[in-house]
């Protein structure tokens, strides 16, 4: 997911539509990882970033809240990133 997320970011910055072919793979791999462990912070982080870049703020916020509310993880960089995204985008739940 890290590599696909990186390609997605590069595609957005370069406005390269050819790299958007990875979108279904990002969604599929993310869903598979979360079906195994719904609180996986990395899968949730990459999906939040993916949906945020796609302009789907509701979907992005869902994954950010999952990171923030995960009971089995202590605060880490991904928790701070999720909290900052929610605050920056003024998403309340």
Both structure tokens of 36: 């195994």
Within a 13 Å sphere around the CA of 9, how many CA atoms are in the beta-carbon half? 10
Residue spans per domain, the chain: 2-9+23-88
Residue-wise pLDDT for 73-85, tens only, equals 566 778 888 888 8
Q: Write down the pLDDT at residue 16.
A: 66
Whether 58 has a pLDDT exceeding 80, the answer reads yes
Both structure tokens of 46: 């990459």
Residue 28 host element (H or E): helix 23-36
Q: What percent of the chain has pLDDT above 70? A: 87
pTM of the model: 0.74
Q: Write down the pLDDT at residue 93.
A: 56
Confirm if 8 and 19 have CB atoms less than 8 A apart. Answer: yes
Torsion of CA 13, 14, 15, 21, to 10 degrees: -90
What is the average per-residue pLDDT within 36-51? 91
Distance CA 28, CA 54 (A): 16
Distance CA 90, CA 24 (A): 28
């Amino acid at each position: 997911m890290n590599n696909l997320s990186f390609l997605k970011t590069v595609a957005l910055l370069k406005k390269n539509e050819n790299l958007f072919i990875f979108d279904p793979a990002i969604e599929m791999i993310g869903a598979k990882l979360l079906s195994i462990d719904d609180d996986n912070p990395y899968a949730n982080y990459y999906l939040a970033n993916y949906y945020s870049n796609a302009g789907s703020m509701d979907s992005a916020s869902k994954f950010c809240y999952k990171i923030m509310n995960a009971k089995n993880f202590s605060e880490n960089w991904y928790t701070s990133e999720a909290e900052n995204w929610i605050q920056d985008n003024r998403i309340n739940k």
